[in-house]
Chain A
Amino acid sequence: MSNKISVGHVHMSGCTGCLVSFADNYGGLLTILDKYADLVYCLTLADVRHIPEMDVALVEGSVCLQDKTAVEEIKETRERAKIVVALGGCACYGNITRFSRGGQQNQPQHESYLPIGDLIDVDVYIPGCAPTPQMIRNVCVMAYLLLKGNDDQKKLAAEYLKPLMSLAKACTSSCGCDIMDSVINQGLCMGCGSCAASCPTRAITMQYGKPNVDREQCIKCGACVSQCPRSWFSFDVVSQFEGITDAINGAME
């Protein structure tokens, strides 16, 4: 028990879909909770009322600036967690809450929402709407290895998490336009189609080998540009795909 890391799930203005994704590791979630992590806080699943100290906070949802409790909670999360993870498109990039503009009963003044990185420092991003169970699983295993592993495991975990930490440092906004701005416009697109596959709303189609983004259909989750191999690509990590996959599968047995 003492060798596990403590993990909390903090629910800001989210839809709980990110937590469902975590749960969609099925038996894998139980393995994570058995071997690697104690879930010390999660209003959906446990009766702990206030944000405790934790190694890793998985934060889903964005923050409503007109909701005092929400603003206090995100600050408390930063104070009490060693590693803050923005879990999902809303926490990372605002996602659908980017379109909020108030005027609805019974809090018509609740109009401004920001991704958590605009209010606190965030260590790791797990983008996606919804984020994938496999990515959440990988980050949990790697966070455990980073905090509790031997030197080799710490090194591997740090290498694995590095791009996700770079994403957290880079920015708090994303959308299909990034595929144009930072990939095609930069002379980097080679037409693989990963962006189109990863888009949850099918806003991207491939035309003559290049992505075409329907910006009215884009919900600003940032999945396309995160999945794009010409957005970021780590030869150090990806070249070890066979060993890393075996290690993660082994950890989940």
Chain B
Amino acid sequence: MVSDNFLGNYASVVAARSTDKSILKGAQDGGIVTQLFAYALEEGIIDGAIVAGPGDEPWKPVPVVATTVEELLAARGTKYNISPNMQLIKEATRSYGLDKVGIVGTPCQIQALRKGQLYPVGLRDVPDKIALAVGIFCMENFPYQSIVQLVEDHANTKLENVTKMDIGKGKFWVYTGRGASVQLPLKITHKYEQAGCHVCLDYVSNLADVSTGSVGTPDGWSTVFVRTKNGGDIWAKAIAAGCFETKPMDSVKPGLDLVTKLATEKITKNQKTLAERATFGVGKGLRNPYI
């Protein structure tokens, strides 16, 4: 078990991608989340998963309880705005009747999940019904109107024509179905970030069972941290079932060093923000949630 200040505790880290072509088509990167949930669903490890499904406006995610592979496939791809996945964590065990819940989330959502498991205030019977928590890497998120502003104004592209968005290689990329792509420098995007992201001290979903993201591996592949005993068991079974193609992390570029660098930058910057909050006013500060 590795215990890293910036990357959290993990048993192993690999480069991976799904072996299922229908999953990879339309996946943001290596299709890890969709593939892992699809496998867990088919094996009865989970009986549903809370994922960011399509919403009523283009590129606006809505949390859904997916109980079929089709519903999982419909949730592929990153939507760079808020999907309050924890909103359904209790309902999944109520009207949906799930006993083994899967959930995907950003680092903050996985933190919320683990707090909810240890200190369930309004989440009766939820703690023992979490079967698989998959975390995604997250540098920051945006409100929906920020995405409208960035894509429709800055990138001058209609949202409904967009087929993929990506933050990578220092740019915000917008791709359309007809082959056009627009790239915005990240500095344009900064003022549109969700304020609450600036106190976040987690980049690679340290508290998930398995966490995954794009950084560190080539296009079409994902970096995967296997963290908990539960995550290790499920990952090993999925590998044995042929769900994933893997490569050692030290055999791919840019590799773990870049993940560590970005994690360190995020956490250091946000720790500074937290410190500044303490003396934000005159003789008064803002609240620090991390007691």
Contacts and interface: CB of A to CB of B under 8 A. Distances in A.
Contacts of A189: 196
B118 A238 contact: yes
Contact of B291 (A163, A242, A245): A163
Contacts of A230: 108, 196, 199, 289
B197 A190 contact: yes
A134 B86 contact: no
A191 B84 contact: yes
Interface residues of A, number: 55
Contacts of A208: 60, 82, 143-145
A238 B115 contact: yes
Interface in B271-291: 277, 286-287, 289-291
Interface stretch (A102-110, A113-121, A220-228): A220-228
Interface stretch (B66-74, B123-131, B157-165): B123-131
A206 B143 contact: no
A241 interface: yes
Contacts of A135: 119-121
A191 B119 CA distance: 19
Contact of A197 (B114, B122, B141, B290): B122
Interface of A: 21, 126-128, 130-135, 138, 160, 162-164, 166, 182, 186-194, 196-200, 206, 208-210, 221, 223-224, 226-235, 237-239, 241-242, 244-245
Contacts of B114: 238, 241
Contacts of B289: 188, 229-233
18 contacts: A134-B127, A182-B287, A187-B286, A188-B287, A190-B108, A192-B86, A194-B86, A197-B87, A198-B121, A198-B123, A208-B145, A210-B82, A210-B143, A227-B121, A227-B122, A227-B123, A228-B112, A231-B289
Contacts of A193: 63, 84-89, 109, 112
B196 A198 contact: no
Considering the complex of A and B, which 9 residue pairs feature the smallest CB-CB distances, nearest first?
A: A198-B122, A209-B82, A193-B84, A193-B87, A223-B122, A190-B196, A191-B82, A193-B86, A132-B124
